[in-house]
């Protein structure tokens, strides 16, 4: 029995993308170190234990790895068959979050479901389900997407339901991520540029209205446009983040030696972890993390192209969708931390503290590993046919 499992493990490892694996492990490890540095004082102040947050994050990583192994073992045909059902299950979870007594409210937003031992942010799971659903839709209705406006409108109407529920929480950041994933995948699926431009225009109008009709979103926009107008009020978080980068310079002040995280920079272990990294590891640390994210996105699109060339369109669009997701969410988080985008509550993939984010990101990257495995197996089989043919 052990020899069988060893053989299966060796075969699976042979299909792993080494660049992708190295980049993922590096981000998780760097993220854990920075999260620990940013949260030791919080654990002591809130829970009387400096190891409270690092211990819980280790548990999140462990659960994420177990879930990733399970996802990796499931063939892509399963996700293609049940993608729509998974999406509607995600919609159901978003509804449950809004039910009084089930959803957990933190900092004015109800985004979490309380599970034994930790809180789960449902918006992270809905992003993964959107990737799977859109990959299936584009694969089944490629002619609709490429030839008619209905092919764009149909999935957008359904996704608008998820976005509306997210805005009620409120969680505009996740709603924007979902729409960007969907539009990016439809564009790569061959949507006409004219129809695509109209769709972007409609989404932009809706996003503008969401800002104009919400007082707290207007405040965020104003603090972004002029952060130094109210540095001790609405712009406090952004100003402290900018100070963090200024202190870091080229090499940083040293791991654990940062001071901005010490009750100056709010949410230093979650949404603004990148600022702590900028202060303690400097420009070199910032550049290293950006390059690691770039490597993951690059490999996602390379795997997608290989899958499409082999006729595996569903797998290809899974890879494309994951690449768009990783690229956009990491770009927004880093941009917010550096003051080039308005403040949004989006985590930094594989790095920020949080059970839901870490577990879902581990599942998402495992799905990309699975795509690569099946693509490599098909490619190897065709190479053998050519060799022996």
The answer to whether residue 346 sits within a structural domain is: yes
What is the chain's mean pLDDT, rounded?
87
Would you state the structure tokens that stand for residue 290, as one six-digit string? 């950006």
The answer to whether residue 11 sits within a structural domain is: no
Residue 324 has pLDDT above 70, yes or no: yes
Sign of the CA dihedral with 213 first, then 219, 220, and 223 last: positive
Calculate the alpha carbon distances from 25 to 18, 149, 201, 241 in Å.
11, 41, 38, 26
Which pLDDT tens digit goes with each residue over 131-140?
A: 999 999 999 9
Over residues 90-119, the mean pLDDT reads 78
Q: What domain range is 288 assigned to?
A: 18-388
Would you state the structure tokens that stand for residue 367, as one six-digit string? 């799905």
Output the pLDDT for position 14. Answer: 67
Which pLDDT tens digit goes with each residue over 39-54?
A: 998 998 888 899 999 9
Which pLDDT tens digit goes with each residue over 248-289?
A: 999 999 999 999 998 788 889 999 999 999 999 999 999 999
CB-facing half-sphere around the CA of 182: CA atoms within 13 A = 29
Residue 9 has pLDDT above 50, yes or no: no
Kindly report which listed range (64-68, 205-209, 324-328) carries the lowest average pLDDT score: 205-209
The answer to whether residue 189 sits within a structural domain is: yes
Residue 6 has pLDDT above 60, yes or no: no
The answer to whether residue 6 sits within a structural domain is: no
Instruction: Please count the structural domains in the chain.
Output: 1
- What's the rounded Cα separation, in Å, for the pair 375 and 389? 21
- The alpha-helical segments, DSSP class H, found in the chain are 2-14, 18-47, 52-72, 76-97, 122-140, 142-147, 150-168, 172-188, 193-212, 215-225, 236-248, 273-309, 313-337, 355-388
Contact assessment for residue 79 and residue 57, using Cβ atoms and an 8 Å cutoff: no
Residue 1 has pLDDT above 70, yes or no: no
The answer to whether residue 236 sits within a structural domain is: yes
Where residue 185 falls among pLDDT bands split at 50, 70, 90? very high
The answer to whether residue 100 sits within a structural domain is: yes
The answer to whether residue 10 sits within a structural domain is: no
* Preceding peptide of 156 cis, ω within 30°: no
pTM value is 0.92
The answer to whether residue 1 sits within a structural domain is: no
């Amino acid at each position: 029995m052990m020899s069988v499992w060893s053989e299966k493990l060796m075969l699976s490892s042979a299909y792993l993308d080494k660049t992708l694996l190295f980049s993922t492990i590096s981000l998780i490890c760097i993220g854990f170190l920075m999260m620990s540095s940013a949260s030791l004082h919080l654990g002591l102040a809130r829970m009387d234990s400096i190891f409270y947050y690092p211990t819980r994050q280790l548990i999140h990583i462990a659960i994420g790895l177990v879930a990733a192994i399970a996802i990796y073992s499931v063939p892509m045909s399963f996700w293609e068959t049940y993608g729509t059902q998974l999406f509607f299950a995600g919609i159901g979870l978003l509804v449950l979050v809004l039910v009084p007594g089930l959803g957990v409210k933190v900092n004015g937003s109800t985004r979490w479901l309380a599970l034994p031992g930790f809180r789960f942010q449902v918006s992270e799971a809905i992003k993964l389900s959107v990737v799977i659903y859109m990959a299936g839709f584009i694969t089944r209705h490629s002619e609709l997407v490429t030839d008619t406006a209905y092919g764009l409108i149909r999935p957008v109407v359904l996704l608008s339901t998820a976005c509306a529920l997210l805005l009620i929480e409120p969680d505009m950041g996740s709603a924007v991520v979902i729409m960007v994933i969907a539009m990016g995948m439809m564009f790569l699926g061959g949507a006409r540029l004219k129809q695509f431009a109209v769709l972007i225009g409609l989404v932009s109008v809706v996003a503008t209205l969401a800002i104009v009709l919400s007082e707290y979103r207007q405040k965020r926009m104003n603090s972004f446009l002029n952060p130094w107008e109210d540095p001790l009020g609405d712009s406090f978080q952004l100003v402290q983040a900018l100070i963090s980068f200024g202190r870091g310079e080229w090499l940083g002040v040293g791991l654990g030696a940062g001071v901005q995280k010490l009750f100056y920079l709010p949410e230093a272990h979650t949404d603004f972890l990148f600022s702590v990294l900028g202060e303690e590891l400097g420009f070199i640390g910032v550049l290293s993390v950006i390059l690691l994210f770039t490597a993951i996105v690059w490999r996602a699109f390379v795997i997608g192209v290989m899958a499409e060339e082999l006729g595996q369109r569903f797998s290809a669009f899974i890879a494309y969708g994951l690449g768009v997701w990783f690229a956009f969410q990491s770009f927004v988080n880093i941009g917010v931390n550096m003051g080039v985008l308005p403040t949004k509550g989006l985590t930094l993939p594989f790095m920020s503290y949080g059970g839901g984010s870490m577990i879902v990101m581990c599942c998402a990257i495992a799905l990309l590993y699975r795509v690569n495995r099946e693509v490599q197996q098909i490619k190897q089989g065709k190479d053998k046919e050519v060799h022996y043919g």
